[in-house]
């Protein structure tokens, strides 16, 4: 490693729909985190690794911090908070479009003392330029000493100075992963998440929070440049199963087609994807089942 090489863990922290997962994908230059307009899309911590000649940044995407009600939501908040104590840097993704409110002030109080904090003032593409300076001043008061960098995860504006601010906050250290490693997640786990994303995007408002996905079979056939994947989409009620399948199976076919395209980009080979839907009653209230689903 060259002299002065930096490395460390960066916890991406913020409210739901602040753009944390979009930002991670933008930083990595490849999609590994799923993104939907629905709050609580991210359910568990996801590691994304960016390696350059002089730095290795290990970003931990976390569920959105919110005032939890219900067992599933409390688990999501706990998953987010557990990422903070061990991080070298906390990257607070602040939603500039929403501005400063009680939830953002509560998030600021959760920032751990005694370590680096960088604030990504996200969604600057959606706000007036004359509103940025007041937001920078407000967030600076909430996290004294933190670098505040206006960015747009959607367009890529401000990403380079944001990464430099994160790098400057990291300690000197070695590489922990090979330079071409993007994540420690298995392809099987990423495939399950891509399927869940498409199910969330294609179903009604009440369905997304009741959806979980397990991959039952994942077989790569190198000679045929093909992966055969069988997966189950779990829901809580019989009525939700009907919505996911759709008339004549059309909704499920659409979910499968969209997910297959993303998985093929990930794997670089053709994918045969077979989906099933199963009712797992009240799984969001059953800790053992949530454990099985990786929540």
Of 129, 227, 141, 156, nearest to 187 (Cα)?
A: 227
Residues 273 and 229: beta-carbon distance below 8 Å: yes
pLDDT at 224: 92
DSSP β-bridge partners for residue 6: 55, 172
Q: DSSP alpha helices (H): ranges in the chain?
A: 20-28, 71-82, 102-110, 132-142, 159-169, 187-201, 238-245, 250-267, 287-292
Q: Exposed, middle or buried by CB within 10 Å (0-12, 13-18, 19+), for 59?
A: buried
Residue 159 CA to residue 19 CA, distance in Å, equals: 13
pTM for the full model? 0.92
Non-local CB neighbours of 232 within 8 Å, separated by 6+ positions? 213, 214, 216, 275, 276, 277, 278
Residue 150 CA to residue 120 CA, distance in Å, equals: 6
Query: What number of helices (H) and strands (E) belong to the chain?
Result: 9, 9
Q: How far is CA 256 from the centre of its chain?
A: 21
pLDDT at 139: 92
Residue 295 CA to residue 290 CA, distance in Å, equals: 5
128-172 pLDDT, tens digit each: 988 899 999 999 999 998 999 999 999 999 999 999 999 999 999
pLDDT at 67: 82
Residues 64 and 20: beta-carbon distance below 8 Å: yes
pLDDT < 70 regions, the chain: 1, 206
Domain boundaries, the chain: 6-169, 187-292
Residues 244 and 198: beta-carbon distance below 8 Å: no
pLDDT at 73: 86
Range 187-292: architecture per CATH: 2-Layer Sandwich (3.30)
| CATH class of domain segment(s) 6-169 | alpha beta
């Amino acid at each position: 490693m060259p002299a002065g090489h930096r490395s460390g863990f960066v916890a991406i922290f913020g409210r739901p729909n602040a753009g944390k997962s979009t930002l991670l994908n933008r930083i990595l230059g490849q999609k590994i985190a799923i993104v939907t307009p629905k709050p609580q899309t991210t359910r568990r911590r996801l590691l994304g690794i960016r390696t350059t000649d002089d730095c290795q940044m290990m970003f931990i995407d976390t569920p959105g911090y919110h005032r939890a009600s219900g067992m599933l939501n409390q688990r999501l908040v706990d998953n987010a908070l557990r990422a903070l104590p061990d991080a070298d840097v906390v990257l607070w993704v602040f939603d500039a479009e929403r501005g400063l409110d009680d939830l953002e002030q509560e998030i600021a109080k959760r920032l751990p003392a005694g370590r680096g904090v960088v604030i990504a003032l996200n969604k600057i593409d959606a706000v007036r330029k004359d509103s940025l300076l007041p937001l920078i001043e407000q967030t600076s008061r909430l996290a004294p000493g933190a670098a505040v960098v206006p960015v747009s995860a959607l367009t890529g504006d401000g990403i380079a100075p944001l990464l430099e601010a994160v790098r400057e906050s990291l300690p000197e250290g070695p590489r922990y992963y090979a330079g071409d490693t993007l994540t420690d997640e298995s392809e099987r786990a990423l495939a399950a998440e891509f399927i869940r994303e498409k199910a969330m995007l294609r179903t009604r408002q009440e369905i997304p929070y009741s959806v979980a996905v397990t991959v039952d079979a994942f077989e790569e056939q190198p000679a045929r440049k093909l992966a055969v994947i069988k997966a189950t989409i779990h829901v809580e009620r019989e009525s939700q199963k009907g919505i996911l399948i759709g008339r004549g199976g059309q909704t499920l076919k659409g979910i499968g087609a969209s997910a297959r395209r993303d998985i093929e980009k990930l794997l670089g080979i053709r994918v045969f994807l077979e989906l099933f839907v199963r009712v797992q009653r009240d799984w969001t209230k059953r800790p053992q089942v949530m454990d099985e689903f990786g929540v």
